[in-house]
Amino acid sequence: MASTFEFGAIADPQEAQQLGAILQQCFNFPAANWQPYSNLLGLENYRVIRCGGKAIAGLGIYHMGQWFGGQSVPMGGIAAVGVAPEHRGTGVAAELMRRTVQELWAKGVPLSTLYASTSRLYRKVGYEQAGNACRFSLPTLSLTPGDRLPVRPLDLAEHKPLQNLYRLRAQATNGNLDRNEAIWKRILQPPGEIIHAYGIGPETQPAGYVVFDQKPGAKGYNLQVRDLVILTPAAGRTLWTFFADHRSLASEITWKGPAVEPLLALLSEQTYQVVHLERWLMRIVDVPKALALRGYPVGVDTELHLEVQDDLLPENNGRFILAVSQGQGKVTPGGQGDLKLHVRGLAPLYSGLFTPQQLQAIGHLEATATALSAAAQIFAGAEPWMPDHF
């Protein structure tokens, strides 16, 4: 049964090959991709389940952060969860996830986030929907040129200028990743792809950037945005002009943004389409630490008495007082437990995906009217989203 499975880091090159073969089959990628993919994340960041001395399942962990309330909270991003077909349906993946979450807790990582191809597996170990990842498309012919700030090609070998601009956007946005080098490399240096990058605004006063590739399209090609940061209204209008300048041969633009995308408000007509809307899942791994490390709205000065239930991590069980003042949260054990929820329900409350009233309406929490109102103030903020997939 699941408890007889052994969990651990990759032991040797042979085990790395075993895991590579499993993941290659699970995700249907070419065999040659395993080496660069495992190098990108680092073999030490993979975990396997062994049975009879052989790897039968595994996953990768991206150690990075996620911005909430202006603070980067350490987060383990889970990727490439795969079980060899002959071992499926016996609880291997659930055991792999349980052990991974326990390890993250032991290492002091307060959050974990992932994209789920099946939610049931992850919900069983405490993950729940916590933010949006939305993809839009727009026909270039619907754009008309307008404002033009200077636009200049960027050197993709030099990540720093992009990272500085990204950070300004990310820290003002709930849920954006505090990207690690592996995520940056996936965006800017995908093997075998031709990537274009342009800075928007004067070099001395950069106001954004766009990174894209060109994929075959109806007319000539489509512009597929890989990364995008817009910091001023003029930069936003310049972005649409820049894309309009491609309209002779580029059919459409696709990009990722929040479900409530402010850039759409700069278009003259509603010619966009939502191509894909997906929710990423989050697990609050260490409740008091996660609550203490995120930022809160400045000006809110109140207290929330929580009672949390966690079937996997006993240290998260019980009552906590979250006292918020001057944008910071202080957590102490105890209190009256005025807002009761499972650790799963805490994820969308923490991220701000749903209001406490909405979470009550879908059965994720029970609270007194005063606690609901305090929670609404504490967790108020912009829609949580991220453009990255991992």
- Residues within the interface to ligand COA (CB under 6 A): 26, 81-83, 88-94, 116-118, 120-121, 124
Cα dihedral sign, 163-289-48-130: negative
Closest-CA residue to 22 (of 83, 72, 76, 97)? 83
Rounded to a whole number of angstroms, the minimum distance from the CB of residue 122 to ligand COA is 8
Alpha carbon distance 120, 20 (integer Å): 25
Rounded to a whole number of angstroms, the minimum distance from the CB of residue 61 to ligand COA is 14
Residue 205: half-sphere exposure toward Cβ, Cα within 13 Å: 7
Rounded to a whole number of angstroms, the minimum distance from the CB of residue 93 to ligand COA is 3
Q: Give the 3-state secondary structure percentages of the chain, helix then strand then coil, rounded to 5.
A: 35, 35, 35
Residue 124 identity: K
Rounded to a whole number of angstroms, the minimum distance from the CB of residue 187 to ligand COA is 20
Rounded to a whole number of angstroms, the minimum distance from the CB of residue 390 to ligand COA is 11
Rounded to a whole number of angstroms, the minimum distance from the CB of residue 59 to ligand COA is 9
Alpha carbon distance 257, 56 (integer Å): 36
Alpha carbon distance 257, 163 (integer Å): 18
Residue 51 vs 331, nearer CB to ligand COA: 51
Residue 63 vs 124, nearer CB to ligand COA: 124
E strand or H helix at 22 = helix 13-27
As a dihedral over the C-alpha atoms of residue 367, residue 373, residue 379, residue 380, rounded to 10 degrees, the angle is 140
- Contact yes or no for 145/354 (Cβ under 8 A): no
Residue 285 vs 349, nearer CB to ligand COA: 285
Residue 122 vs 272, nearer CB to ligand COA: 122
Residue 94 vs 195, nearer CB to ligand COA: 94
Residue 94 vs 267, nearer CB to ligand COA: 94
